[in-house]
Amino acid sequence: MLPWVVRRTGLPLLSLRCVDCRSESATTGEGRFRVNANGKLLDVWLLVRCVSCGRTSKLGVHERAPVSSFTLAELDGYHANDPELVASTLLDPLFARRNRFALDWNGAWRLDAPSARLDDAWPVRVEVVFDDPVPVRPERLIAHGLGLSRNEVLRRIKCDIPLRRPTSAGFTFTVLAGD
Ligand SMILES: [Zn+2]
């Protein structure tokens, strides 16, 4: 079984409408949190910037959360703008839903696929693993990874999940010999 790995190469952009210029793309840039303490309660935001006009917005991560509900590592992470914490916050589906944005993964991920010697033994089985939750269309990923046309993919690939529906959960497929 050949292992393929999908992983991010950076942080995805956010599809989020700017209230100033109506552009629909924002970035976390270097990744910065803002923390505001109010007695024993904390507000935490992730700052994002419109890629078109540069306007900064605050997206709520925690709202009036008791300081005692955070671990020390979390508090340090928010204050130090820890890149791993920025990434895990941005990729948290609940955070995206609460703040009404979708992730734009264009150019922010790659497929690591060992070069396949496809003539050796048929059929070939491939296991796709996701290191990061990048939604990919299996049909396109397989075409790209094997250098096949979409038509060849449809003809030669046996897969137990739908080829056209984006997924970010691991799957396996089988490549049948060409004609
Ligand atoms: Zn803007």
The pLDDT tens digits for 117-128 are: 655 677 889 999
- Distance (angstroms) between ligand 1 centre and the Cα of 102 equals 17
Q: Are strands 13-15 and 102-104 parallel, antiparallel or unpaired?
A: antiparallel
Average pLDDT, the chain: 94
Residue 117 is predicted with a pLDDT of: 63
- Distance (angstroms) between ligand 1 centre and the Cα of 50 equals 5
Residue 177 is predicted with a pLDDT of: 84
- Distance (angstroms) between ligand 1 centre and the Cα of 77 equals 28
User: 119-123, 133-137, 139-143: lowest mean pLDDT where?
Assistant: 119-123
| Average pLDDT rounded to a whole number, residues 88-109 | 96
Residue 87 one-letter amino acid: A
Q: Is 156 helix (H, G, I), strand (E, B) or coil?
A: helix
- Distance (angstroms) between ligand 1 centre and the Cα of 49 equals 8
